[in-house]
Amino acid sequence: MLQAGVRLGDRYRLDARIGAGGMGEVWRAVDEVLGRVVAVKAMLPGVAGQPDFARRFLVEARAMASVNHPAVASIHDYGQDGGLTFLVMEFIDGESLAQVLARGRLDPATTMRLLAQAADGLRAVHARGIVHRDLKPANLLIRRDGSLLITDFGISRTEDGTQLTASGAILGTPTYLSPEQVLGRPATGLSDVYSLGLTAYECLTGRRPFEGDNPYAVALQRVQAPPRALGADVPAPVRAVVERALATDPADRWPSAGALAAAARAAVTVEPAPAPVPVPPPVPLPASVPAPVPAPVPAPVPAAAPAPDDLAFGSRASGAPRPRAAVRRRWAVLAAVLVVVVAGGAAVRQALGPDDPVTPGAGGPAVSGSPGPAAAPAGFVACGPMLCPAEPLCWAGLTSISGRAMSPRSLPCDREHTWETFAATTLPADAAAGGEDELLLRDDIAAACSARLVAGRSRDRDVTQGWVRDAWPIEVPGTGLRLVHCLARPERGEPSRPAFRSP
């Protein structure tokens, strides 16, 4: 199993895990030959033997290596070591657009600036005959200087037909699929244009244009009706850019990624000096995203025909859209939707062997240098020197940026999740000094979030024995207060029920 200190290819020393998913893990690492920080994406041994997954990994490496553009993440190396397949990419000091949007929507000018950057990168991708097929906020990374990168080409398709769609299956994330992908038709460059339109819509509104009870219902909506209209607070030229990108019929969309980039820039009269996208600096408290500021309404966006070499493959040469075809019948999605994306997760520490179990309800020691909670915050009750969740608390993966821990996404405990809180305590005042993503290395935090406390809080000690532990700062909603959550998860798989007792 991968862990900090492991060397791959006798060259890349793993430093800290920054992401994990069903297919593999992403680690921050050091290239000991060139002395630089890199990102290493390693395929998990459990899927390495499956031909489709192994081939997808190689396709991603080749696709990324064939594109040279500032808005496309660079790949440095691809190799195998002891049965482990890995690729080496540039390390991005920043966060995903999905993390940015989790703090609030963006103003029209910032949205158009990011859309133009993404479309520029997409134009270079399409020029190499590649369709990304899974563009979404989680696959768009924002550097600290505000520049954007496209990443995760794991399910891309080349113009010559090389693709990774299994028989009867659709690859991609349901929320961001184009109508033609939902219908099982081949994805083209215009499918990527549609996905960028969905992303821009989410940036402007803070919500997705289609919502439903399950992924299939969400996917089906886009072939039955147009998305919900953008609000009046969005300038008309910006609305026009997004609405055309979201046309159900590919022929009605912007004819290429290059045309979309030009339209996005023209939609704002004066593009602001690149003020960075609100990425939080490495300080204890998170920076908030500025409230949306309506941009001045400029002249309408010119509908210029693209140059012949700028057409997205799969589109027609005519720059004028033809009338949209009416959707006359319901379409059923018969294919399973496979979401292939390395989900967020970081700074994971392996659990030490469990200590002797304690009686249920026993607390842990107070954190040194930090006063114990005088009154339990909302959602918690006091249990000895610690705090215990009044109701089960479960979370998605963990992410840190430059040592600063980001609050994870809350998930229902009766659905698949990664982590569960078994206790909490006050955040030490000096937490940032040693890295908020490495709190479990502190003696006081390790003693508070002990394996013994896992056993004491567990509904079934046999189930949670040997679970991985971590300690992570998470904000109490609406208060600005951050507590250190003692978290636990199984070494493999994602549980779908709470493992710890409520008081």
CATH number where 180 lies: 1.10.510.10
**pLDDT at position 114:** 96
Tell me, yes or no, whether 21 and 149 share the same domain.
no
User: For residue 237, what are its two tokens?
Assistant: 């030229």
- In this structure, are residues 84 and 271 in contact, taking their beta carbons and an 8 Å threshold? no
Helix or strand run (H / E) with residue 479: none
Q: Is 136 annotated for ligand binding?
A: no
Structure tokens at 129: 């005959």
Token pair listed for 12: 């890349």
Q: Are residues 333 and 369 in the same domain?
A: no
pLDDT at 88 over 50: yes
Give yes or no: residues 368 and 445 share one domain. Answer: yes
**Residue 320, in any domain of the structure:** no
For residue 357, the enclosing domain spans 345-503
Number of compact structural domains in the chain: 3
Given a contact cutoff of 8 angstroms between Cβ atoms, the answer to whether 414 and 395 are in contact is no
Last residue in a domain, options 53, 74, 90? 90
- Asked whether residue 428 is domain-assigned, the answer is yes
Q: 270: which DSSP letter?
A: S
Same-domain check for residues 254 and 211: yes
Within-domain flag for 2 = no
CATH number, residue 68: 3.30.200.20
Q: Is 140 left (phi over 0), alpha (psi -120 to 50) or beta?
A: beta
Residue 171 has pLDDT above 60, yes or no: no
Q: What is the pTM of this model?
A: 0.53
pLDDT tens digits, 11-69: 999 988 887 765 678 889 999 999 999 989 887 766 656 666 667 667 767 767 778 88
Does residue 216 register a pLDDT over 50?
yes
Residue 448 reports pLDDT greater than 50: yes
Radius of gyration of the chain (CA): 24
| Inter-CA distances, 300 with 236, 237, 265, 271, 372, Å | 8, 6, 12, 15, 60
Alpha carbon of 161 to those of 130, 153, 154, 434: distances in Å? 10, 15, 15, 50
- Torsion angle, alpha carbons of 249, 250, 251, 252, to 10: 60
State which of 90, 115, 142 marks the end of a domain.
Answer: 90
According to the model, what pLDDT value does residue 398 have? 77
The verdict on residue 402 lying in a domain is yes
Distance CA(211)–CA(287), nearest Å, equals 28
Q: Are residues 433 and 460 in the same domain?
A: yes
Amino acid type, 398: L
1 lies in a domain? no
Do 375 and 332 lie in one domain? The reply is: no
Does a structural domain hold residue 424? yes
Most confident of 262-276, 336-350, 424-438: 424-438
Contact 373, 382 (CB under 8 A): yes
Q: Judge if 285 and 197 occupy the same domain.
A: yes
Residue 263, pLDDT > 70, answer yes
Of 323-327, 359-363, 493-497, highest mean pLDDT: 493-497
CB 241 within 8 A of CB 203: no
Residue 346: the pLDDT is 34
The Cα-based distances of 227 to 119, 208, 318 in angstroms read: 21, 9, 25
Question: What letter does residue 448 receive in the DSSP assignment?
Answer: H
At which of 283, 305, 338 does a domain end?
338
Closest residue by Cα to residue 378 from 362, 366, 390: 390
pLDDT for 132 equals 82
Q: Annotated catalytic residue: which of 31, 134, 152, 470? A: 134
- Whether 196 and 245 map to the same domain: the answer is yes
DSSP 126: H
**Residue 245 falls inside a structural domain:** yes
- Domain match, 270 and 394 both: no
| Average pLDDT over every residue of 404-409 | 80
Beta bridge partners of 149: 141
CB 298 within 8 A of CB 239: no
Residue 242 has pLDDT above 90, yes or no: yes
Instruction: Mark whether 134 is an active-site residue.
Output: yes
Percent of the chain at pLDDT above 90?
Answer: 31
Same domain, yes or no, for 51 and 101? no
Residue 297 maps to a domain: yes
In this prediction, residue 115 has a pLDDT band, given cuts at 50, 70 and 90, of very high
Q: Are 46 and 54 in contact (CB under 8 A)?
A: no
Together in a domain, 24 and 38: yes
Same domain, 224 and 372: no
Q: What is the pLDDT of residue 494?
A: 82
What is d(CA 207, CA 306) in angstroms, rounded to the nearest whole number?
31
